[in-house]
Every structure is written in C-alpha cells, then in structure tokens.
Structure 1
C-alpha cells in the first residue's frame, strides 16, 4: 500500500514513462511493414496509452506540489531548471512534459488545421520527449538503484529502439536504398 506522497510521485512518474513507452512502441508498430492485421487495435492502444501517459504525468506533477518532504512550487514544475531539488533532472522532466503535450495536442486537437508534413515533424518530437523522460527517471528516481527498475528501463529502451530501428529499415527497404526522412 502506498502511504507517502513520495511513493505516489514515483509510481505516477514510472507509470507515465510506461504509458509513453507503450504509445511509442505501438505508434511505430502501427506504421511498420511487418504488422498486417489488427492495425485499428494497435492505433487505439497507441492513442490511449499516450493520453494515459499525459494524465499520469500531470498527476505526478500535482502530487509534487503536495509533497511535504521535498515540495515543488508550481513555478518549479512548469519552468525548466528552476527546481531546487535535482535541478537538471527536474528540468529534463519538465521539457519532456511539454514535448509530449505538444505532440498530443497537435495529434488530436490541431491535426485538422495543419499540413500533414508539419504534423509529422512535430509528431517525431515524441522521441526526444521519451528519451528525456527516461533520463529524468533514471537520474531522479529514488528507486533507480533497484535492479528490477534498471532492468525495466533497459528492456523498455532496448525494445523501443529495436522497434524504431525495424520500422526505419522496413521503410527504407520499401522506398529503395535512399534515406526516407518521412517515416
């Protein structure tokens, strides 16, 4: 049973990273050449995991304000690198949040008002956002010393990178040998 705000903060941060990882994996699978069936299911997992990640990271940020041990102010949460606690790691988390927010807003809210090429370029901001969230979790997580947590980070990062690489290679083979920047 979770009893302290710090435990809730860590759980919510961990879950946000997990949901964003799932969203990225299923987003890559959705457009991959090796997935022929269940594209609609894959799409819905991709979308729902992204929104669950956003809701979870917002809860993570709100509980940080409530924490009595190492409380954050709203300004420290919303403006990168202003936090007193773990300034760099906290700032990376804030930047990751804004990048995820931009991707989700342009995907579901503003997608109909912009050119597809612009949307696609914005959508790929999810990759640096995910990487920043991984670095944030590893650097600031109080449970990063736990072997199972390290294994989870390594497996999730390895799997995500493998899926991304497979998708990239598949698209290059489909288009010929010329690099394709419109994955």
Structure 2
C-alpha cells in the first residue's frame, strides 16, 4: 500500500525489498507457530487438525480461521515468488489482494484463540496493527480521489 503513494514512488525499489523481506519473515513465523503447536503439551494438535480447517478440538472456528489464513498467505507468497511471470501481472495483482482477507482472518484468529489476547501488550499490538492498516488504506484512498479529481480538471498531478 505504501508503494502506491505518489510521494514514495521514487523509493519503490527499497519498499519492494522491505515488503518481500517482511513477507518471508511473516510466513516463516507462521510455520514456526505451526511447529510449536505440534509440540504443545498443554493444547495438543495433530497434523490433520492443523491442516484441515475447523477440525481442531480446541476452538475449531478460530483454529480454522487461522488455517484458512495460512493457506491464503501461502497462495500469495507462492504466487509472488514462483508464479508471477506465468500468471501475468494483471492476474498476479488480483491474486495478491488475497493477502487482505488473509490478514483479517489472522487477526480474528489471534484475538479469538491467542493465549495472550487479553494481555494489555497484546491488545496494544492488535489495535496498533489494525489502526496502521486502516489509516494507510484511508490515506491511499483519499490520495487516489484527489489525483482523479486533479486529472479531470486538467491540473498537473503531484504538485
């Protein structure tokens, strides 16, 4: 979302590297989370319960949302690094937007089943993350409206 801001277009290459690094770090964190759940003695999960949505005995709805979120993230990161050229930019871009529901499902998953979700620091992290995404999304929408309005009036864009 940041890369589409007109003021940040000159820094797009650096933003792409940052974006890809964060994507892989997040994906590896999810895999680590899954591996930890396999070893958890307090609330045990089987491989099947982790891979089949809504099959887990512990809070099946929230567990299932986490599994669906994982699959969406996997689809996005896999298509970005391995299938982008085969899909073509237009189709890849459409598929890339699956990250939005993936993120939303992961937030609901974390709030609903996270063992630390009632802790003030966790609530602060959830709230801050949600607010950042909302604010950046709103600012991006406002900028697109302003640019569209300026282009209709024949005024130069980005002045």
TM-score for both structures, normalised by structure 1: 0.77
Cα displacement (A) at 1:116: 1.8
Match of 2:73 among 88, 93, 100: 100
Cα displacement (A) at 1:57: 0.3
- For structure 2, the 5+ residue unaligned runs are 151-159
Match of 1:164 among 111, 128, 137: 137
1:127 aligns with 2:100: yes
Mean Cα deviation higher: 167-176 or 83-92: 167-176
Contact 2:65 2:109 in 1 (8 A): yes
Cα displacement (A) at 1:34: 3.0
Q: Tell me which residue corresponds to 1:12.
A: none
Bigger relative contact order (CA 8 A; separation at least 6): 1
Deviations 1:24-74 (A, max 9, x none): xxxx11122232443222111111100111111011101111111111000
Match of 1:57 among 14, 30, 35: 30
Computed over aligned residues only, the root mean square deviation of the Cα atoms, in angstroms, reads 1.5
1:146 aligns with 2:119: yes
Aligned mates of 1:118, 1:176 — CA distance in 2: 28
Contact 2:3 2:9 in 1 (8 A): no
The equivalences for 1:75-114 within 5 A come to 75-114=48-87
Q: Which has the larger radius of gyration?
A: 2
- For structure 1, the 5+ residue unaligned runs are 1-27, 178-183
SS at the partner of 1:109? helix
Query: How many equivalent residue pairs?
Result: 150
TM-score for both structures, normalised by structure 2: 0.88
Which segments of structure 1 move beyond 6 Å, counting only runs of 4 or more? none
More helix by proportion, 1 or 2? 2
Q: Tell me which residue corresponds to 2:153.
A: none
